[in-house]
Structures are given as structure tokens and as C-alpha cells.
Amino acid sequence: MSKKIKLGIIGGGGDSLIGVLHRVASFINDNYEIAGGVFNPNYEENLKFAKEIDIPTERIYQDFDTFVEKETISLEKC
């Protein structure tokens, strides 16, 4: 079985149309996994939304810079 491509999403939280489209497209052929991101400028809304779509909250970040920093470190450990 091949590994899934991990995606990070910037924006597209809540009822954002483009967010819904990207999430649906990422699941169409089961080759992708949304691993984390920053969906909304409000961190509490980020966490709430992540729980709604079943993404681990430890991979949800307050801002883009933190997202890039933490996920880059995570990739370097692999």
C-alpha cells in the first residue's frame, strides 16, 4: 500500500466554498490526507473547525509562519 500525500491547508475554514472544494478534491481518490493547517485568523475557530473535520488539533497553528516553521521541523525529522 502506498503512502498518502500529506496536505497542509492555509485558509478555507468554516463554510468557505473554496475550502470545501479543496477538501472534497483531496479525498476523491484517497491518495491525500489533510495533516494540518491554518483555516481561520481566529485560533479558537481553527481548533473548532479542525475537530469538526477530524484533523488532529496539535497540527493546527495560530498563523502561517508558525505552521511553516513547525511542519518544516517535522519533515526534517523524517
Give the domains, in start order, of the chain with CATH numbers: 5-77 (3.40.50.720)
Q: Is the pTM of this model over 0.85?
A: no
Query: For position 13, what pLDDT does the model report?
Result: 87
Query: For position 1, what pLDDT does the model report?
Result: 53
Query: For position 18, what pLDDT does the model report?
Result: 87
Q: How far apart are CA 75 and CA 73, in angstroms?
A: 5
Alpha helices (H) in the chain, listed in sequence order? 17-27, 43-52, 64-77
> Residue 7 forms beta bridges with which residues?
34
Q: What values do phi and psi take at 29, rounded to 5?
A: -110, 15
pLDDT values of the chain reduced to their tens digit, one per residue, 78 residues = 568 888 889 998 887 888 888 888 888 888 888 888 999 889 999 999 999 989 999 999 999 999 999 888 776 676
